[in-house]
Structures are given as structure tokens and as C-alpha cells.
Amino acid sequence: MPRSKTRKPQLAVTKDIGELFDYPDLPVKLRQDLYVLTRHHRVVINKLRAQIPEAKNSDARNAIQEITDLLIHRNDQTEELIEGVLDRKIQVYHKARKIKAEARVDRSSK
């Protein structure tokens, strides 16, 4: 029986970096993909933390606690980068595109 060809979602992360600037919606899509990824990481970390009380060995509990603390810290840093730096860079990029488009319209109307 032949398989039906279902279209997989197109992730901006799989694009070349140069293509991000060819299409104005790709940087926003990349930001959304990264946000979903960090949210998913948080879910996995929380599931790991839920296993702490069930660990019979205190060394295992301590190891899980230490690892999840480090993962939470790293995930928080990633979220800060996405929310702070990437959002600001996307705004600057869109503003520059808008200015270029307006300049192009002004030149063509003369």
C-alpha cells in the first residue's frame, strides 16, 4: 500500500542563514520555532524534576536535582536571548526593510 505524502511543517531553523533575509516572514518564524523549542525543553525539565521524589537513592535524587537546576538556568538564558536580542534584531531588520521600500517607492515616483 503506497504511503500518502503528508507535508511536514517547514521549520525556519532548517533554512540557510542567508535565506532568513530573503523573506521578511522567516525571521519571525525562526523566533516562533525557537520559542516553541524552549517551551518544549521546559516541559522535559519539569518531567525530569517530577522524578526526583521517586528516586530511591539519595545520590540519584541529588544528581537529578543538580542536572535540572543547570538545565533550567541554561533554558532561562536561551529564553532571554530570544526575547531580548533576537526580538530586537528582528524589529531593526523590519524597520530597515520598510525604510528601503519607502525609498524605492520615492525614487520610482520621481
Q: What is the pLDDT of residue 73?
A: 95
Please state the rounded mean pLDDT for residues 3-32.
Answer: 66
Model pTM greater than 0.75?
Answer: no
Give me the percent of the chain exceeding a pLDDT of 70: 78
Q: Looking at the chain, how many residues does it have?
A: 110
Please state the rounded mean pLDDT for residues 87-102.
Answer: 84
Q: How many angstroms separate the CA atoms of 45 and 64, rounded?
A: 10
CA angle 61–67–68, rounded 5-degree value: 90
Q: What is the pLDDT of residue 76?
A: 93
Q: How many angstroms separate the CA atoms of 108 and 103, rounded?
A: 9
Residue type, 84: G
CA neighbours closer than 13 Å in the CB half-sphere of residue 28: 7
Higher pLDDT, 26 or 62: 62
Where exactly are the structural domains of the chain? 24-103
Q: How many angstroms separate the CA atoms of 108 and 73, rounded?
A: 52
